[in-house]
Homo-oligomer: A and B are copies of this chain.
């Protein structure tokens, strides 16, 4: 029988095997005392199974409160638990309740983080996955051989549709590939989405008519169900080529529903992920979290960037981006590197990921360039040219004043 495999990092005051068995019981057919009907046969058919336990270090204080009994040492282990697909059917909502539901509250653990998740082919077949991914995005943007370079409309909040359109028009003229709304900007009174789409796409289409290059704009359509559909259709009708959703805000069914009726790539914003993952012993690591959204059908997914302004270390960013670029049931998702990015991280990003199949987004790192946004974009292209040519930035900057200015400003 096909099974889902969930890998956890746990910490526990008891034997890690017993803790793992508790998780397996709680999340399949068990309860806190054995009840009539919970037969051995039923356990054999529907029980979750502990597949592997790798004991790790021990610590002398619990990472999370409420573990019982109190102990002198708390043992950490990586445990893999499998669940029969029969228990849930190919359902993302039930999968979520099973592998990331009540178990975080178990008193048998003082730490529990879902670090990896694998679903069988029958599960993946029930969901469409990304419709565009890397290839579709390259086709729509016309960008080949380098990352899709983009920015976020800033200020995050407060621009009128016309002001946004002027900014996007200027960025298009400067050669940008991609622009996205901030996750804070969806459909507020001062910039209704329909008006913003109309104004921005007028500028984008005019630029495309002149140059043949259509800037991809990810309009933030995160909203109620019917409104998301309407927003998507508004973007499509205006000639737009991308929609964005804040994944944790909209939830899995809304995203999957949008994907099934969408004709545009879905740019997945991960805001809120920090709450799920900043603590090393609690929550859901990016790799596991992304599995849900990949199945639901995102095309692009934010991973943070190297030397970002947030808490996250480069190792983690690299692991996230690599996870998305690793085929899952035949599909990959385009990683979106952003936060505190400028030309300076291009060489290390290329060296560590070994690909240009990514989006490279800069806010202040482009818009606040001393030579203006056009010079900011030039500096980013130059940074990636240097990375691809294997030349040190300092060296390349000698011949490229925009890159040199960027290094003076941001380095």
Contact = CB atoms under 8 A, between A and B. Distances in A.
A93 B224 contact: yes
A180 to B, nearest CB: 13
Given A35-B367, A37-B167, A183-B97, A30 B252 contact: no
Contact of A97 (B96, B189, B249, B283): B249
A252 to B, nearest CB: 6
Given A32-B309, A65-B278, A100-B248, 20 more contacts: A27-B184, A31-B154, A32-B340, A33-B368, A35-B154, A37-B154, A38-B154, A64-B311, A66-B312, A89-B187, A91-B222, A92-B224, A93-B186, A97-B183, A101-B248, A105-B312, A106-B311, A223-B253, A249-B251, A282-B282
Contacts of A34: 364, 368
Interface string A257-279: 10000000000010111111011
B253 A252 contact: no
A29 interface: yes
A22 to B, nearest CB: 10
Contacts of A312: 66, 105
Interface string A23-45: 00001111111111110001001
Interface string A184-201: 101111100000000000
Interface residues on A, range: 35 or more
A35 B368 contact: yes
Contacts of A236: none
Contact of A104 (B45, B46, B272): B272
B94 A310 contact: no
Contacts of A333: none
A272 B91 contact: no
A98 interface: yes
Given A93-B246, A102-B183, A35 B364 contact: yes
B224 A253 contact: yes
A272 B104 CA distance: 7
A101 B273 CA distance: 8
| Total copies of the chain | 2
Nearest to A34: B368
B157 A224 contact: no
A38 B102 CA distance: 44
A167 B310 CA distance: 52
Contacts of A45: 158
A388 interface: no
B159 A37 contact: yes
Contact of A64 (B189, B248, B278): B278
Contacts of A87: 157-158, 184, 188
Contacts of A269: 97
A156 interface: yes
A311 B89 CA distance: 29
Nearest to A276: B275
B100 A275 contact: yes
A213 B157 CA distance: 54
A308 to B, nearest CB: 8
Given A42-B158, A253-B225, A257-B225, A97 B272 contact: yes
A145 to B, nearest CB: 29
